[in-house]
Every structure is written in structure tokens, then in C-alpha cells.
């Protein structure tokens, strides 16, 4: 077991190293530079800026310097926002996104999975059709529409929800729904189809033939098997949800991490792009690892061994 | 009801598909005595499995029982609700199925699945249920049952899984065990062991058994009485030796002639039954086998033959047995194999 964890850890680090390398070089191939403005800077000033941000050195030197800092978990300083360290940026913004993400994930699990089970149990009857309709909406309607709709109807018109920002539990409702809506709908559908697959399995027939009550069959025998594909999806979704969404944060004026993903690319803010990408990737590989652990917990046929 | 453990009367079951009603079981009646072992033969789609699923009321949507009665220990099961049936299933009537590889839940240990069934029907605590389960496992011939109790299904071989499933089915000492092609998915040597086990179970526990199969060899080896089904109906019913040595139905004869006889040296070709089973969406008006029967007469397509009593305990559904029918001596000759 320990050996397995060490092995996985090593491969996670390797993944991150390769990713850092690839992103680092790819970034330099994007046309333009962090200093590209509508009003061109004078060559002297640009030269000074390049020097300040270590961009006058040869590319391999820049790479080695960056990787050296990365070893100390130092993501460098933003090029666009004067003097702001990327580490601090993430440290300030991530908890905000994570708080929203936490509730969104809870929503996905606590609402999405039971709704899927319900739809499967009531297959072909009105609860199934209703859930199917709602989940189709949830999947088809983009988060900015859901977000704007909530903000307009419940915030502006009815005045039940605050217009934005994160003050008090009420202000969480809108962004959490917008953030988790798609995944919740997706998980509901996934759970439904997976439950239906499992219900036609021979071991469910065995359980019925042995006189087990329906509730036990559904929740003990079917659900545990049906969750395997759901867990797969949840792993990667967690990483995405918890790091925030540009769109949702923009609509609800939430100071989360999502905006850095988009803005840094627009600004070609090399260090911020590197920082946010690596942070996301690190979360992602950890989630994938946790999914594998979860598999082993659910399904005894899967063993965590090399 | 007399001494019959199970008495099925005029049972009908259909599947209501969107193209129409598929009449899978059409007026089936038979009975089973305590401790008896009955074979149910027929090709795929003959209604043998649906008959047994109906006895346990396990048909799921869109299938359901449309008529008849199933008396078990004198009580009709057909009107019972789901909750009452749960107390019958696994407790009074148990069933084991064709594919042991997929019939156990892969995510729980074999032991915990057995304990669950036992505790469902018996007021035992966890420890007592575990003891009972281990006793059953050893009864069905699983070596070192204490350790095997903690194994997951994937750690069992196919034959062992079928043994475990039989142990689970018998754990609450049911009066009737229905085995639906229990050996089809197993290789030949394991097949023989499982059949032997089923025979032993009957002797040791006095359990009545219905053995569903399409394998006449299995029937010859283990059954006392045989019901031959075709097109959702009983075609012939007789003691096992009569079925093999004195069949009175062209369909039974066809079945016998389509399997090789290892005791004969002849290089005769096997005779498959030409054609395919009847469409149960629009069942034929006459005898279901008439379309494929080489002895078919005009009346066979017009009217359904009744079950003729050939002799005590031997019935056959065929117009040839009618007094007015022409004599067909070769049926007896060819049927009298060996």
C-alpha cells in the first residue's frame, strides 16, 4: 500500500513537471508578449521591463530559473499586477472559489445522485419525465444564462437574494446553483442510466429471488455498483468546480480564482498562467488519485497494487 | 390439495410489449409432491423459465401473470402482494439461476450476502447467521468454509459460485428449490458435480426440486418426472423412463432424435427439428408444434389437442392419441431407442 502511494506520488510529480515544461514553452509561442499594449511602449521602457522580469535572458535560462523557483513552490510575481505574487493571489482567491465549490459539490452529490436513483426507480413514469426534463435543461442551458436568470428573477425582481458578492448564506445560493447546475444534472443522468444498467444484472435477480426487500436491493445491492461510473466523473469535476468559474464569478461579483484563468491568458501574464494551470493540474491529479482509492473501496475486484 | 407441495393450475403469463401481448405461458397445470424432483425441458422460448418465474412471482415489467393459480402448501400465491411474496422467496421457495459468474453481487463477500438472506428470514443475530451460513457452505461442499465465508465472489470459481448460490438458496430450508439451467454455464465435470449436489440436497433436506433445462442428459441423470414444454404449453408429462423409452409426443420424439446417443455405434445423422418455434404474439390456433411436426394432420392446425392420458401419470398433447386418429406405428418404433 505504502509502495503504491509512493509510486503514485512520483508519477503525479512527473506529470506536473511535464505539464509545467510544456506550458512554459507553449506560452512563449503565443504571439505578442505581456508588454503588448494598444499604445506601444518605447523600446527603452520595454527593455527595462524585460530585464525586471528576467525575460532578457535566453529561454533555457528563463526555464531553469522558473523551475528552480517552482521547486521551492514559488510561482513568481505577476507581470501585469505590479508586485503581486502568484502564490498570494492563489492563497487569497482559492478559498473563495473553494467555499463556493464545496457547496456546489455537495449539491451535486446530495441532490444529483438521489435524483438519479429516483428517476431510475420511477422509470417511465412522471417523476422520471420531470427529472429528465430538468436535467436536460441543466445540461443544455449554459451557466451564464442560469446565473443571469437567478440574479434577475430572485435578486432584482423578487429581492430574495442579494445582487452579488459573498455576504451571508443567501449570497451563496445563486453562484452555487450556477456553478453546480451542469454537473448536478449530468450526475443525475449518469446515476439514472447506471442504476438501470445495474438493475438488470443477474445478482439483482438473485437478491429478489432470495426475498430481500426492495429498499435493501436498491440501496445496498444496486447503488454501490451503480456508483462506480459516477465516481469517475465526480473526480475530475471536483477539481474543475473547486477552482471556480470565470463566468459565474463575473456574474455574481465573486472574488474567486476563476477570473485569473481567463484574464491571465488575455494579458499573457506568463507567471499567472503558469501558476493557475499548475495549481489546477495539481488538484486534478490528486483527485484522480482519490478516485482510484475510491474505486478500491467500492469494488473489491480492484486492488491498489502495482 | 392432498399431498402436493406445489399445485399449478391453468397458469397464464404474458409480456405486454409495445407490439402486443406475447403469451409466454398458456394454460399450464402441473403438480409437485414433497421431495420430488421434476424436470422441465423445452427449447428456448418454450415458457419453462417464465413458468417458474411466475411461480415465484418474479416476472418484472412488462411481464405478468394473467390467470390461473399457484398453490404452494395449500396457499395460492398469485393474489399475494409483494411484501408477502418477499417472505415466500428465499424462505419457502428458492431459485438458482443459469449464470453463477454474474449471479452474486461482486462488491460484497459471499458470506455477507448469505448472512443477509438468512437474517431476512430468520430471527438470528449476526454471529448465529454466520454460523448457519458456514454450515450451509460446508454442506454444499465448499472446502474450508470459514475462510471462504470472507471471500468475494471473484475469488470463487464458477462451480464454487454455483455451490454458494445453492447454499444461499437453501439457507432458510425452503420446501422447493427451482434450479433454472443451473449447469448450462459450467463445464462438463463441474456440471456433474452440481447435479450430484442437487440430488444430495434433496436426499438430505427433503427439498422438492424443479430442474429447468434444455439438456436431456441432465434430465435423464437427475429427474423422476419430466414435463416437456413447447410454445408456452405442456406437450408431454411422464415419468423419466417413459419420456426416454416410450415418448408419445412428436415433439418429445424430435427432441430425443436431435441429441446424439452415445450408446449407439451407428453413424446416423442427427435429426434436427426443422422450422422455428411459434410466434407467441399470435399463437397458432391449433397445436403449437403443428407447423414443424412431420405427422401433422389437418386438425392439428385447426384445433388445439387436449392432454390425453396415455396411462397413469403419462399425458401427451397430440391428436394422434385420439381414438379417431390413424395409427402411426413408426412413432413407437423410432421412439423406442436403445
Q: Considering CB atoms only, which of A201, A211, A300 is closest to B121?
A: A211
- The residue from B193, B223, B253 where one domain ends is B223
pLDDT digits (tens, 9 = 90+) for B294-324: 888 888 988 999 999 988 989 999 998 888 7
> Are residues B42 and B178 located together in one domain of the fold?
yes
Number of domains forming the structure of chain B = 2
**pLDDT for position A306:** 58
**pLDDT for position B336:** 44
Q: Which domain holds residue B276?
A: 229-262+269-335
Name the least confident of A40-44, A147-151, B113-117: A40-44
pLDDT digits (tens, 9 = 90+) for B27-64: 999 999 999 999 999 888 889 999 999 999 999 888 99
pLDDT digits (tens, 9 = 90+) for B157-167: 999 999 999 99
Within 10 A of B15 (CB to CB), how many other CB atoms are there?
17
For chain A, what is the HEC assignment?
CHHHHHHHHHHHHHHHHHHHHHHHHHHHHCCCCCCCCCCCCCHHHHHHHHHHCCCCCCHHHHHHHHHHHHHCCCCCECCCCCCCEHHHHHHHHHHHHHHHHHHHHHHHHHHHHHHHHHHHHCCCCHHHHHHHHHHHHHHHCCHHHHHHHHHHHHHHHCCCCCCCCCCCCHHHHHHHHHHHHHHHHHHHHHHHHHHHHHHCCHHHHHHHHCCCCHHHHHHHHHHHHHHHHHHHHHHHHHHHHHCCCHHHHHHCCCCCCHHHHHHHHHCCCHHHHHHHHHHHHHHHHHHHHHHHHHHHHHCCCCCCCC
> Are residues B58 and B153 located together in one domain of the fold?
yes
Number of domains forming the structure of chain A = 1
Who has greater pLDDT, B202 or A131?
A131
**pLDDT for position B53:** 93
Q: Would A77 be classed as within a structural domain?
A: no
The rounded mean pLDDT for chain B is 89
Domain CATH number, residue B36: 3.40.50.300
- Collect all residues from B whose CB is shorter than 8 A from any CB in A: 56, 58, 82-83, 85-91, 94-95, 97, 99, 102-109, 116-117, 120-121, 152, 154, 165, 168-169
Q: Would A135 be classed as within a structural domain?
A: yes
Tell me the chain A residues in contact with residue B86 when contact means C-beta distances shorter than 8 Å.
211-213
Q: Which residue of B has its CA nearest to A228?
A: B107
- Collect all residues from A whose CB is shorter than 8 A from any CB in B: 201-203, 205-214, 216, 220-221, 224-225, 298-301
ipTM higher than threshold 0.90? no
Q: Would A82 be classed as within a structural domain?
A: no
Cα–Cα separations (whole angstroms), residue B253 to A89, B150, B175? 85, 48, 33
Decide: helix, strand or coil at residue B295: coil
Residue with cell 473553494: A98
CB contact under 8 A, A203 and B99: no
- In this structure, are residues B214 and B273 in contact, taking their beta carbons and an 8 Å threshold? no
Q: With 50 as the cut, is the pLDDT of residue A95 above it? A: yes
**pLDDT for position B102:** 92
Domain CATH number, residue A233: 1.10.3720.10
**pLDDT for position B88:** 95
- How close, in Å, is residue B117 to chain A by CA atoms? 6
Q: What value, to the nearest 5°, has the Cα angle with vertex B137 and ends B133 and B142? A: 155
What order do you get walking across the sheet with B75-76 strand by strand?
Answer: B20-33, B4-17, B63-72, B75-76
Q: With 80 as the cut, is the pLDDT of residue B262 above it? A: no
> Are residues B196 and B253 located together in one domain of the fold?
no
CB contact under 8 A, A211 and B88: yes
Name the least confident of A65-74, A207-216, A239-248, B225-234: A239-248
Tell me the chain A residues in contact with residue B17 when contact means C-beta distances shorter than 8 Å.
none
Question: How much is the pTM?
Answer: 0.83
Tell me the chain B residues in contact with residue A209 when contact means C-beta distances shorter than 8 Å.
56, 58, 89-90, 94-95, 97, 169
- Per-residue pLDDT band for B325 (boundaries 50, 70, 90) equals confident
- What does the pLDDT average to over B162-182? 93
Q: With 60 as the cut, is the pLDDT of residue A106 above it? A: yes
For a pLDDT cut of 90, what percent of chain B falls above it? 59
- Those residues whose C-beta lies under 8 Å from the C-beta of residue A211, and which sit 6 or more positions away, are B85, B86, B87, B88, B89, B90, B91, B117, B120, B121
- Per-residue pLDDT band for B131 (boundaries 50, 70, 90) equals very high
Nine-digit cell at A214?
Answer: 426492495
> Are residues B126 and B252 located together in one domain of the fold?
no
> Are residues B192 and B249 located together in one domain of the fold?
no
- Those residues whose C-beta lies under 8 Å from the C-beta of residue B1, and which sit 6 or more positions away, are B7, B71, B74
For B166-235, what is the HEC assignment?
HHHHHCCCCCEEEEECCCCCCCHHHHHHHHHHHHHHHHHHCCEEEEEECCHHHHHHHCCEEEEEECCEEE
> Are residues B15 and B81 located together in one domain of the fold?
yes
Decide: helix, strand or coil at residue B320: helix
Q: With 80 as the cut, is the pLDDT of residue B136 above it? A: yes
Q: Which domain holds residue A226?
A: 101-267
> Are residues B27 and B113 located together in one domain of the fold?
yes
Residue B82, judged by CB atoms within 10 A of its CB (0-12, 13-18, 19+), counts as exposed
- What does the pLDDT average to over B258-276? 74
- The residue from B223, B254, B286 where one domain ends is B223
Tell me the chain A residues in contact with residue B167 when contact means C-beta distances shorter than 8 Å.
none
> Are residues B233 and B211 located together in one domain of the fold?
no
Who has greater pLDDT, B260 or B84?
B84
> Are residues B197 and B247 located together in one domain of the fold?
no
Q: Which residue of B has its CA nearest to A297?
A: B107
- The residue from B200, B223, B246 where one domain ends is B223
Tell me the chain A residues in contact with residue B158 when contact means C-beta distances shorter than 8 Å.
none
- What does the pLDDT average to over A190-219? 94
**pLDDT for position B330:** 53
> Are residues B191 and B212 located together in one domain of the fold?
yes
Taking the C-alpha atoms of residue B85 and residue B114, their distance in angstroms, rounded to an integer, is 19
CB contact under 8 A, B90 and A211: yes
Top mean pLDDT of A78-92, A109-123, A168-182 is at A109-123
pLDDT digits (tens, 9 = 90+) for B200-248: 888 888 899 999 998 888 888 889 999 999 999 999 999 999 999 999 9
- Per-residue pLDDT band for A10 (boundaries 50, 70, 90) equals very high
Name the least confident of A300-304, B264-268, B294-298: B264-268
- In this structure, are residues A260 and A99 in contact, taking their beta carbons and an 8 Å threshold? no
State residue A180 phi and psi, 5-degree precision: -95, -10
- What does the pLDDT average to over B329-334? 52
**pLDDT for position B337:** 42
Q: With 60 as the cut, is the pLDDT of residue B332 above it? A: no
Nine-digit cell at B45?
Answer: 422460448
Taking the C-alpha atoms of residue B338 and residue B262, their distance in angstroms, rounded to an integer, is 10
> Are residues B185 and B132 located together in one domain of the fold?
yes
> Are residues B103 and B53 located together in one domain of the fold?
yes
Q: With 90 as the cut, is the pLDDT of residue A81 above it? A: no
Q: What is the DSSP string of B107-157?
A: TS-HHHHHHHHHHHHS---HHHHHHHHHHHHHHTT-SSHHHHTT--GGGS-
Q: Which residue of A has its CA nearest to B53?
A: A209
pLDDT digits (tens, 9 = 90+) for A258-295: 888 888 888 888 899 999 999 999 999 999 899 888 88
- In this structure, are residues A272 and A80 in contact, taking their beta carbons and an 8 Å threshold? yes
Q: Would A297 be classed as within a structural domain?
A: no
For a pLDDT cut of 90, what percent of chain A falls above it? 52
Amino acid at each position: 500500500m505504502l509502495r503504491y502511494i509512493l509510486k503514485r506520488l512520483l508519477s503525479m510529480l512527473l506529470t506536473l513537471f511535464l505539464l509545467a515544461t510544456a506550458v512554459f514553452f507553449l506560452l512563449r509561442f503565443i504571439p505578442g508578449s505581456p508588454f503588448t499594449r494598444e499604445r506601444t511602449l518605447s523600446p527603452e521602457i520595454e527593455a527595462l521591463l524585460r530585464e525586471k522580469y528576467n525575460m532578457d535572458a535566453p529561454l533555457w535560462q528563463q526555464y531553469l530559473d522558473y523551475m528552480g523557483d517552482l521547486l521551492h513552490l514559488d510561482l513568481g510575481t505577476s507581470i501585469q499586477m505590479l508586485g503581486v505574487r502568484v502564490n498570494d493571489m492563489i492563497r487569497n482567491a482559492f478559498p473563495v472559489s473553494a467555499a463556493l465549490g464545496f457547496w456546489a459539490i455537495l449539491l451535486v452529490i446530495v441532490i444529483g445522485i438521489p435524483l438519479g436513483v429516483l428517476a431510475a426507480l420511477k422509470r417511465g413514469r412522471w417523476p422520471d419525465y420531470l427529472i429528465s426534463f430538468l436535467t436536460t435543461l441543466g445540461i443544455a442551458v449554459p451557466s451564464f444564462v442560469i446565473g443571469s436568470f437567478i440574479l434577475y428573477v430572485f435578486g432584482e425582481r423578487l429581492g430574495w437574494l442579494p445582487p452579488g458578492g459573498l455576504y451571508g448564506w443567501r449570497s451563496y445560493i445563486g453562484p452555487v446553483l450556477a456553478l453546480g447546475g451542469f454537473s448536478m444534472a449530468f450526475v443525475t443522468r449518469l446515476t439514472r442510466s447506471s442504476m438501470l444498467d445495474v438493475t438488470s444484472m443477474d445478482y439483482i435477480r438473485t437478491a429478489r429471488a432470495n426475498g430481500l426487500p426492495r429498499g435493501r436491493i436498491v440501496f445496498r445491492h444496486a447503488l454501490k455498483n451503480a456508483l462506480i461510473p459516477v465516481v469517475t466523473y465526480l473526480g475530475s469535476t471536483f477539481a474543475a468546480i473547486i477552482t471556480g468559474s470565470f463566468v459565474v464569478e463575473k456574474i455574481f461579483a465573486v472574488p474567486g480564482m476563476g477570473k485569473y484563468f481567463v484574464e491571465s491568458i488575455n494579458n499573457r501574464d506568463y507567471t499567472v498562467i503558469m501558476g493557475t494551470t499548475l495549481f489546477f493540474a495539481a488538484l486534478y491529479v490528486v483527485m484522480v488519485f482519490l478516485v482510484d482509492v475510491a474505486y478500491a473501496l467500492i469494488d473489491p475486484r480492484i486492488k491498489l497494487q502495482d | 390439495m392432498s399431498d402436493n407441495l406445489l399445485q399449478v393450475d391453468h397458469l397464464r403469463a404474458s409480456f405486454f410489449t409495445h407490439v402486443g401481448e406475447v403469451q409466454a405461458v398458456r394454460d399450464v397445470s402441473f403438480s409437485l409432491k414433497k421431495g420430488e424432483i421434476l424436470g422441465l425441458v423445452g427449447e428456448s422460448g418454450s415458457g419453462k423459465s417464465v413458468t417458474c418465474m411466475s411461480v415465484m412471482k418474479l416476472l418484472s415489467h412488462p411481464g405478468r401473470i394473467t390467470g390461473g393459480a399457484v398453490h404452494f402448501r395449500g396457499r395460492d400465491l398469485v393474489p399475494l402482494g409483494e411484501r408477502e411474496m418477499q417472505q415466500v422467496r428465499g424462505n419457502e421457495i428458492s431459485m438458482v439461476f443459469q449464470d453463477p459468474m454474474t449471479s452474486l453481487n461482486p462488491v460484497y463477500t459471499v458470506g455477507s450476502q448469505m448472512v443477509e438472506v438468512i437474517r431476512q428470514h430468520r430471527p438470528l443475530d449476526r454471529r448465529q447467521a454466520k454460523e448457519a451460513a458456514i454450515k450451509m457452505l460446508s454442506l454444499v461442499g465448499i472446502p474450508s468454509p470459514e475462510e471462504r465465508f470472507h471471500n468475494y465472489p471473484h475469488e470463487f470459481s464458477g462451480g464454487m459460485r454455483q455451490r454458494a448460490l445453492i447454499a444461499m438458496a437453501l439457507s432458510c430450508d425452503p420446501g422447493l428449490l427451482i434450479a433454472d439451467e443451473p449447469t448450462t454455464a459450467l463445464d462438463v465435470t463441474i456440471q456433474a458435480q452440481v447435479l450430484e449436489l442437487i440430488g444430495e440436497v434433496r436426499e438430505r433436506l427433503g427439498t422438492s426440486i424443479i430442474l429447468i433445462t434444455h439438456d436431456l442428459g441432465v434430465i435423464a441423470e437427475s429427474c423422476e418426472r419430466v414435463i416437456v414444454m413447447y410454445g408456452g404449453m405442456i406437450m408431454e408429462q411422464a415419468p423419466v423412463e417413459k419420456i426416454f423409452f416410450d415418448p408419445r409426443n412428436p415433439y418429445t420424439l424430435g427432441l430425443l432424435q436431435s441429441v446424439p446417443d452415445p450408446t449407439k455405434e451407428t453413424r446416423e445423422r442427427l435429426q434436427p427439428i426443422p422450422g422455428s418455434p411459434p410466434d407467441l404474439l399470435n399463437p397458432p390456433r391449433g397445436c403449437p408444434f403443428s407447423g414443424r411436426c412431420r405427422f401433422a394432420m389437418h386438425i392439428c392446425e385447426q384445433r388445439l389437442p387436449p392432454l390425453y392420458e396415455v396411462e397413469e401419470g403419462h399425458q401427451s398433447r397430440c391428436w394422434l392419441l385420439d381414438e379417431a386418429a390413424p395409427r402411426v406405428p413408426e412413432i413407437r418404433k423410432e421412439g423406442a431407442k436403445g
